[in-house]
Amino acid sequence: MTRLCDLAPSNIRAIAPYQPGKPITELAREMNLNPENIIKLASNENPLGVSPKAYEAMQEALEDIARYPDGNSFALRDCLCRKFGLQPDQLIFGNGSNDILELAARAFLTPGTEAVYSQHAFAVYPLVTLATGATGISVPARNFGHDLDAMLAAVRDKTRIVFIANPNNPTGTLLAKAELRAFLAKVPEHVLVVLDEAYDEYLPAESKSEALLWLKEFSNLLISRTMSKAYGLAGLRIGYGVAAPEVADLINRVRQPFNVNSVAQAAAVAALSDEDFVQRTYALNQAGMAQITQGLTSLGLDYIPSYGNFVSFHVTDAAGVYQQLLKAGVIVRPVAAYEMPDYLRVSIGLYAENDRFLEVLEQVLKVPT
């Protein structure tokens, strides 16, 4: 007798499930630890929490929770148009920016087509590609970053999407603006370039993306941004995409009408206006990055210089060290699934969290695993 699950499409069965950072509550249950003594530096979340303005907006939005959200996210759309000088029909809203990536894949990929992405790039690109039945082409990285020449060479008639993470997660690498722009000018028009800028807010002013300005020139560019990182709204799930109106229109056709909840919409509007919070987040991350990278160096560990709110460091027996850190109540992220079996990724936390991570890591490295 044929089993139901054997009849599922082979492209679905081929998907390797996404491995999220371990939640604090899960580790507390598994190791019988007090959740208050656990620190999670595993999902690139904002250690400052959420902007007080956004928090207030959420409370207010809860009053109206019996109603469906505005399926067009009018207030949020308006807010982003003003902030970035966009037209309303250029925007797509998502239940996190993962949703934007998936919607783009669903709108443009079919079996027989291809999507190109880099080795060590964000895990969701292969995932959303395979789910559509399209073929994923992973291009070898150069110094852990995207090799744009090789990626361009991988583009063929069948290619519909090129995914680029800038900065990339989990490597933290950043492409120079001029290089990226030159790449866009060379990508054929039948290919959508999905430029994932989840960590743009962590870049120093001179390195921040100018891609929104490039939209006038490139009608095959989709920029994706998130409210999960610097804006501290990871649990609410909200992100957005910006593209040419024609592209946004197609993507919006596969979007569920109420994919972004009302509390998230209200919080996002308030968060976008709280520039002071984003500035504090940036400053804390800069200081924490220096603290952690100096600490890693003192421990004799190599790391990949990172432009995000996390850093991946080299360690022999990464799986063993990960387990030992867990036992001590410190959650980091293994990145073996990213073809980086000898690395662990740590998110930048509060000063005391970074300190505890370094202290525990030092202890763990002393004891043979």
User: Please, are residues 194 and 101 in contact by the beta-carbon 8 Å criterion?
Assistant: yes
225-244 mask for ligand PMP (x: CB under 6 A)?
Answer: -x-x-----x----x-----
Closer Cβ to ligand PMP, 196 or 353, answer by number: 196
Residue 177 phi, psi dihedral angles, 5° rounding? -55, -45
Q: List the x/- string, 174-213, binding to ligand PMP by CB under 6 A.
A: ----------------------x-x---------------
- Is the Cβ–Cβ distance between 195 and 168 less than 8 Å? no
Query: In the numeric block, which tokens belong to residue 151?
Result: 């990626």
Span 294-323, contacts to ligand PMP by CB under 6 A: none
- State the Cα angle at 367 between 363 and 369, rounded to 5°: 120
Q: How many residues does the chain have?
A: 369
Q: Give the residue with the Cβ less far from ligand PMP, 98 or 173.
A: 98
The DSSP line for 186-231 is HS-TTSEEEEE-TTGGGS-GGGS--HHHHTTT-TTEEEEEESSSTT
How many residues bind to ligand PMP according to rule CB under 6 A? 13
**Exactly one of 46, 169, 220, 347 binds ligand PMP (CB under 6 A); which one?**
169
User: Could you give the string, one character per residue 78-97, with x where binding to ligand PMP holds by CB under 6 A and - elsewhere?
Assistant: ------------------xx
Amino acid at site 50? V
- Residue closer to ligand PMP, measured from CB, 333 or 356: 333
Minimum gap (Å) between residue 280 Cβ and ligand PMP: 20
The span from the CA of 68 to the CA of 286, in Å, is: 40
The backbone region for 278, taken as left when phi is positive above 0, alpha when psi lies in -120 to 50, beta otherwise, is: alpha
- Which residue, 311 or 358, has its beta carbon nearer to ligand PMP? 311
Burial class (CB in 10 A: 0-12, 13-18, 19+), 169: buried
CA 65/CA 161 separation, integer angstroms: 37
Q: How far is CA 279 from CA 106, 203, 292, 317, in A?
A: 35, 11, 20, 37
Cα 197 to chain center, whole Å? 8
Minimum CB separation of residue 3 from ligand PMP in Å reads: 33
Query: According to CB under 6 A, which one of 79, 80, 91, 165 is a site residue for ligand PMP?
Result: 165
The pair of three-digit structure tokens given for residue 155, joined into one six-digit string: 């583009």
Residues 94-133 that bind ligand PMP (CB under 6 A): 96-98, 122
CB of 169 to ligand PMP, least distance (A): 3
Q: What DSSP element (H or E) covers 159?
A: strand 159-165
Residue closer to ligand PMP by CB (options 243, 328) is 243
Q: Which residue number, 104 or 198, has a Cβ lying nearer to ligand PMP?
A: 198
Smallest separation (angstroms) from ligand PMP to the CB of 233: 8
Which CB atom, from 161 or from 358, has the smaller least distance to ligand PMP?
Answer: 161
Closest to ligand PMP by CB, 242 or 328: 242
Beta-carbon neighbour count of residue 200 at 10 Å? 22
Q: What minimum distance in Å lies between the beta carbon of 97 and ligand PMP?
A: 3
Helix 275-298 × helix 52-62 angle, to 10°: 120
Site string for ligand PMP, 10-49 (x = CB under 6 A): ----------------------------------x-----
Minimum CB distance to ligand PMP smaller for 335 or for 364: 335
Give dist(CA 246, CA 304) in Å, integer. 38
* Shortest spacing between CB 99 and ligand PMP, in angstroms: 7
CB of 44 to ligand PMP, least distance (A): 6
Report 239-268 residues binding ligand PMP (CB under 6 A): 239
Q: Which is nearer to ligand PMP, 173 or 324 (CB)?
A: 173
Enumerate binding residues for ligand PMP (CB under 6 A). Answer: 44, 96-98, 122, 165, 169, 196, 198, 226, 228, 234, 239
